Chain A
Amino acid sequence: MKSYALFLGCTIPARQPNYEISARKSLEKLGIELVDLDNMTCCAPPPLRSIDLKTSLALAAYNICLAEEADLDIVTLCTGCFESLAMTNSLLRDNMKLREEINGILSAVGKEFKGVKEVKHYLQVLVNDVGLTRLKREVLKPLDNLKVAAFSGCHLIRPSKYLKFDDPERPRIYDSLIEVLGAKSIWYRNKLRCCGGLLRGYADDIALAIARDKIVNAVSAGAECIATLCPFCFLTLDLGQMLIKSTYKEEYNLPIIHYAELLSLSLGVDPKELALEIHKIKIDKVLEKIGW
């Protein structure tokens, strides 16, 4: 049984337990052990990097050190956490000077970054440790050609120089993981474009306009839902539709579902266990289609 140190980050436990629940349940069903380590702190995403780049590197490296000490690779759910930790891992492995600087800071807490563990996103775990073939077999309730607008968000694939996850212009991994569940990953305009989530709180009008574009493009292409990987994307597109309604007077009722939730549902997990009430836009139509 493959074990990983689960890195939850800040947003999922604080706002989206539905993501955490479905991730834990699905990975458990697939035979992946998730270990909760003590002392994991914030991954140091853009809001912290904006204040000080060095501090963010140090904080991210601190988290990686905890995993190194437990001799476990890290798996993240939030793609923002993935980008922050994987980029830090990559940077500090390749840049000796930077690594020495950061280890100097980490020595204040008795830690040393060695670069011996990997940082993965749970999609990588699905592809590499479970494999598409086995995953297909485990699917109990295929998604009946559900038209899914796949939206991985920015930080799963960019910056590709450090993340090396998938082709940044023609990514296929996420789409194939959706299709293996029996759904259809459809084309829609500007599929890889950002949702604008990180502008929320500073420039809400712009953030909302960008989110609205995304919803409109998905709906125009005939999507029955948008499948997300990032809690910020989820928030922006799910809660965002309430704001679009009040600001633009437009109602789309497009379900926004985390991939982990689709995965859990297709693996046969009862929707009642998945805290689906957290979704602002109800996903009943999708559940019906799948046969729940």
Chain B
Amino acid sequence: MEEIKVGVFLSDCGGQLSKILDFNAITSFVKSIPGVTFVAQANEFWRGDGLKIILEAIESRQVNRIVVAESIPKVSEVAIAKAVEEAGLNPHFVEVIDLKDHCAWPHRDSPLEATEKAKAMLLAAIEKVKLMEPIERAEYPAVKSVLVIGGGIAGMQAAEDLAEMGFQVYLIEKEPFLGGLAARANRFFPTDDCAICIQSPSSLKTVANTSRKCVYRSGISELPNLKIYTSSKVVKVEGAPGNYRVAIEQRPRYVEIEKCIACNLCSNTCPVEVPDEYNAKLKTRKAIYITTPLVYPPAYVIDEKACKFHECAKCVEVCPTKAIELDQKPKQVILNVGSIIVATGFKEFDPSVIKEYHYDEYPDVITNLEFARMIDSFGPTNGAIIKPSNREPVKHIVFVQCVGSRDRRWNPYCSSICCMISLKHAIFVKETNPEIDVTICYIDIRTTGREHEYYYERARELGVKFVKGRPAEIIHDPATNKLIVEVEDEILKKFLELEADLVVLATAMVPPEDAKELANILGLEIDSDGFFKEYNAKLRPTETMHRGIYICGGATFPKDAPTASLHAHSAAIKAAKFLMNGKIVKDLKVAVVNEDYCGDCEFCPVTCPYNAISLVPKDNGRLVAKVSDLLCEGCGVCVGTCPVGAIELKHLKNNQILAQIRALLSINGSSKPLVLAICCSECGHAAVDSSGMAMMSYPANVRVLRVPCAGIIQVQHILEAFRAGAQGVMIVGCKPDGCHHGVGAQKAQRKVELAKRLLSEYGVEPERLEMLNLLFIEGDKFAEAAKKMTELVESLEFIKLP
């Protein structure tokens, strides 16, 4: 075993720190620590001459472990680690601490005490680095191909981006046709142009590069790297990020896409007629049909539930290109992809459950999507606005907003686009049929996007009536075949009975019924409303806790077309970033399981925020936990969860934690009792940084231990701190709903509660232990809490746990 030689490099920040801290005393203290072979002091060590000193010390083999006291360690350690690695030393043998923001600045009023604390901080860093094991770097294959689940406008655009970047893309869609909701919605607000269009591809030579293209002439199906599977769903996913094996099942179309020329002879001949769901059942269709030739593929499909197959086969006889194959079977295809993008969109909520609106009983009560089909000139009524009950013309239309949205019984959220959709429809009606009377009943009108308010203005200018009030009931008068909408006009404080020929319900937008199933297959989280949950809504809106799997478009929450496009492009970039090097390189700062101790209790697989732990059988029939090095993010929540200490982090082993705790509490130098603050390296440690950066003051008896996540803390650590001489312990983590690792802050809270109970049993005041949840900008709260804790423990008796 190579002898451990620790080099300690003390930056005095251009001479500023040495005005407060006694660097002579610090240097001689450090020199006296066993294992330290080299000590140097300079203005700065993270670049220039200072960095050269470190590199020379390494090259001359005087040191093989590095401790640097430097400014803004979270930034400077990047440069130092890089240089150290180039010099041939494992970069994880470097520990950088902050004597400026964590010592000199906050304790500038008590320089002697600050110096003693500096000694303790350096001792802790040195002890940690002495116990550090080498961290290897691993490489994993990243197959440069992507699976996009969902062929709506978000899925198509993400697929197009990636295909044009050179990735092999598989786009799967559960319906027989691409297009999703857009193919039925006819027009999109606020531009009122076609809904079924996507970005123009730039790589196809014969397709003009413009801002956008109709899907059917976009050439998306001709992109060389893009393979489209319609009538397909994901059945199983195996493998790891960068290298997934996905099994998809493709239901038979019964029509050869390449041979079909969409001549309609088959449909004309087909004897079977069924209600046309695509067209809101406003008309019927045949068992062999095409929904719209506007998207891909421009080929017919057979509805296998309606078709009589060989009992009939009339379509086979008339097809001029022999495209119909009644004996097609479902196919299973295994795709090897590096990354998966979920773009499964949303659908309209079924308002039948809101019985007072009688959607299921009165044919003249329809939804916005059904209305969109009606006004579509390609649609079931060729664009005529009629009453579905008797096909007669319409004189009065009433729109009802928030049907199933903002409703705690069904969907508590606002679906965000329904106001604009109804306005779009109302404007369309007034522009094409100005004699039709249109009223919109609303709770609030929400037109928040760019240009959206002008849309609302236009509606008012065209004479659309607005009634502020949520309709209580829709009644049908059998004598006149008219509908009556009972609503209170809140502004006039009058009860109205609005007569309507057609009532259009602006229903909520909800996840498709198979979203949950897909989430289970992929191991993705869904939120309480059933939408796919993103990693972080503000900054990583298209990523998930699973690296390698991305989500975009309406699948995360209802949104309009511009936002869905944004999302799609974002997901494409994330996937490209992940796969572009053809390999995933990772430093293995991961958790490791001691299989002898593992009791297969299943706590850690369930708790791991990254789903990185699974249970595997051993020869003796036992199950033990196994950590995926690729998925593990090294947060340590599993360490805090394990009841028997069978798992620890390679880059922060238990002995390293204990060594630091003891070192930090070994030197006092003040009259005050020692307090240990265990801070997560996200918000917790950042709050300590900011209190120093802002030059706040708190006493030097408060010592800070940095851990990756507060979730790593075990009750044992807290008791050890008291044993080592702490009179008070503070755990500082992120906000409970903002933990950077998802669950860590909440887990830490539980530990603190348990530890408080235990302390009470020992006769120790539970107030000596507290948990703080802070943000970086709440450095003042940290300083305040540090002062308060100090005052508290000063007022209590000195304790020493056995």
Our pick among A169, A187, A189, A190 for the contact of B355 (Cβ within 8 Å) is: A169
Contacts of B355 in A (CB 8 A): 167, 169-170
Contacts of B475 in A (CB 8 A): 189-190
Residue of B nearest to A189 (CB): B475
Contacts of A190 in B (CB 8 A): 475
Bound: A187/B361 CA distance, A: 14
Contacts of A169 in B (CB 8 A): 355-356
Contacts of B356 in A (CB 8 A): 169
Which chain A residues (158-209) contact chain B, with CB distance < 8 Å?
167, 169-170, 187, 189-190
Residue of A nearest to B356 (CB): A169
Which chain A residues (140-173) contact chain B, with CB distance < 8 Å?
167, 169-170
Residue of B nearest to A170 (CB): B355
Contacts of A189 in B (CB 8 A): 475
Give B469-495 as 1s and 0s: 1 = Cβ < 8 Å from A's Cβ atoms.
Answer: 000000100100000000000000000
Distance in Å: Cβ of A131 to nearest Cβ of chain B: 27
Interface of A is mostly: loop
Bound: A182/B789 CA distance, A: 81
Residue of B nearest to A187 (CB): B478
Distance in Å: Cβ of B179 to nearest Cβ of chain A: 36
For the side of the interface on B, what is the size category? under 10
Bound: A169/B474 CA distance, A: 12
Contacts of A167 in B (CB 8 A): 355
Residue of B nearest to A167 (CB): B355
Contacts of A187 in B (CB 8 A): 478
Bound: A167/B478 CA distance, A: 23
Residue of B nearest to A168 (CB): B355
Contacts of B478 in A (CB 8 A): 187
Distance in Å: Cβ of B619 to nearest Cβ of chain A: 51
Bound: A190/B355 CA distance, A: 14
Bound: A97/B179 CA distance, A: 54
Distance in Å: Cβ of B484 to nearest Cβ of chain A: 10
Distance in Å: Cβ of A6 to nearest Cβ of chain B: 34
Distance in Å: Cβ of B11 to nearest Cβ of chain A: 61
Bound: A210/B293 CA distance, A: 57
Distance in Å: Cβ of A197 to nearest Cβ of chain B: 21
Bound: A170/B359 CA distance, A: 13
Give B531-568 as 1s and 0s: 1 = Cβ < 8 Å from A's Cβ atoms.
Answer: 00000000000000000000000000000000000000
Bound: A170/B356 CA distance, A: 9
Residue of A nearest to B486 (CB): A190
Give A83-120 as 1s and 0s: 1 = Cβ < 8 Å from B's Cβ atoms.
Answer: 00000000000000000000000000000000000000
Distance in Å: Cβ of B360 to nearest Cβ of chain A: 10
Distance in Å: Cβ of B100 to nearest Cβ of chain A: 54
Bound: A169/B356 CA distance, A: 6
Give B352-395 as 1s and 0s: 1 = Cβ < 8 Å from A's Cβ atoms.
Answer: 00011000000000000000000000000000000000000000
Residue of B nearest to A193 (CB): B473
Residue of A nearest to B355 (CB): A169
Distance in Å: Cβ of A125 to nearest Cβ of chain B: 27
Distance in Å: Cβ of A187 to nearest Cβ of chain B: 8
Bound: A190/B484 CA distance, A: 12
Bound: A187/B476 CA distance, A: 12
Distance in Å: Cβ of B470 to nearest Cβ of chain A: 16
Bound: A167/B353 CA distance, A: 11
Residue of A nearest to B358 (CB): A169
Distance in Å: Cβ of B243 to nearest Cβ of chain A: 51
Bound: A48/B437 CA distance, A: 48
Bound: A19/B597 CA distance, A: 76
Give B443-487 as 1s and 0s: 1 = Cβ < 8 Å from A's Cβ atoms.
Answer: 000000000000000000000000000000001001000000000
Which chain B residues (319-373) contact chain A, with CB distance < 8 Å?
355-356
Bound: A105/B518 CA distance, A: 53
Bound: A187/B475 CA distance, A: 12
Bound: A169/B473 CA distance, A: 10
Bound: A167/B356 CA distance, A: 11
Bound: A216/B478 CA distance, A: 17
Distance in Å: Cβ of B476 to nearest Cβ of chain A: 10
Bound: A187/B355 CA distance, A: 17
Residue of A nearest to B479 (CB): A220
Distance in Å: Cβ of B613 to nearest Cβ of chain A: 38
Distance in Å: Cβ of B388 to nearest Cβ of chain A: 21
Bound: A169/B475 CA distance, A: 12
Which chain A residues (229-270) contact chain B, with CB distance < 8 Å?
none
Bound: A167/B355 CA distance, A: 10
Bound: A82/B478 CA distance, A: 34
Distance in Å: Cβ of A119 to nearest Cβ of chain B: 25
Distance in Å: Cβ of A22 to nearest Cβ of chain B: 33
Distance in Å: Cβ of B535 to nearest Cβ of chain A: 38
Contacts of A170 in B (CB 8 A): 355
Residue of A nearest to B360 (CB): A170
Residue of A nearest to B478 (CB): A187
Q: Indicate the member of A167, A169, A190 with the most B CB atoms within 10 Å.
A: A169
Distance in Å: Cβ of B387 to nearest Cβ of chain A: 21
Residue of A nearest to B475 (CB): A189
Bound: A189/B476 CA distance, A: 9
Bound: A31/B415 CA distance, A: 55
Which chain B residues (477-527) contact chain A, with CB distance < 8 Å?
478
Distance in Å: Cβ of A272 to nearest Cβ of chain B: 40
Bound: A189/B355 CA distance, A: 16
Residue of A nearest to B354 (CB): A169
Which chain A residues (26-67) contact chain B, with CB distance < 8 Å?
none
Distance in Å: Cβ of A217 to nearest Cβ of chain B: 11
Distance in Å: Cβ of A213 to nearest Cβ of chain B: 13
Bound: A189/B478 CA distance, A: 10
Bound: A189/B477 CA distance, A: 9
Bound: A167/B360 CA distance, A: 15
Bound: A167/B354 CA distance, A: 12
Residue of B nearest to A221 (CB): B478
Residue of B nearest to A220 (CB): B479
Bound: A226/B189 CA distance, A: 52
Distance in Å: Cβ of B480 to nearest Cβ of chain A: 13
Bound: A66/B478 CA distance, A: 50
Distance in Å: Cβ of A18 to nearest Cβ of chain B: 34
Distance in Å: Cβ of A219 to nearest Cβ of chain B: 15
Bound: A190/B475 CA distance, A: 9
Bound: A67/B475 CA distance, A: 43
Bound: A170/B355 CA distance, A: 8
Distance in Å: Cβ of B485 to nearest Cβ of chain A: 14
Bound: A170/B478 CA distance, A: 18
Bound: A190/B478 CA distance, A: 13
Which chain B residues (733-763) contact chain A, with CB distance < 8 Å?
none
Bound: A66/B482 CA distance, A: 53
Bound: A117/B475 CA distance, A: 39
Distance in Å: Cβ of B543 to nearest Cβ of chain A: 41
Distance in Å: Cβ of A25 to nearest Cβ of chain B: 36
Bound: A17/B475 CA distance, A: 37
Bound: A246/B268 CA distance, A: 69
Residue of A nearest to B357 (CB): A169
Bound: A271/B475 CA distance, A: 39
Bound: A190/B474 CA distance, A: 11
Bound: A190/B486 CA distance, A: 11
Bound: A169/B355 CA distance, A: 6
Distance in Å: Cβ of B738 to nearest Cβ of chain A: 32
Bound: A113/B475 CA distance, A: 43
Residue of A nearest to B477 (CB): A189
Bound: A144/B180 CA distance, A: 55
Give B85-98 as 1s and 0s: 1 = Cβ < 8 Å from A's Cβ atoms.
Answer: 00000000000000
Q: Which A-B residue pairs are the 6 nearest by beta carbons?
A: A169-B355, A169-B356, A170-B355, A167-B355, A189-B475, A187-B478
Enumerate chain A interface residues (CB-CB to B < 8 A): 167, 169-170, 187, 189-190
A-B contact pairs, 7 of them (CB 8 A): A167-B355, A169-B355, A169-B356, A170-B355, A187-B478, A189-B475, A190-B475
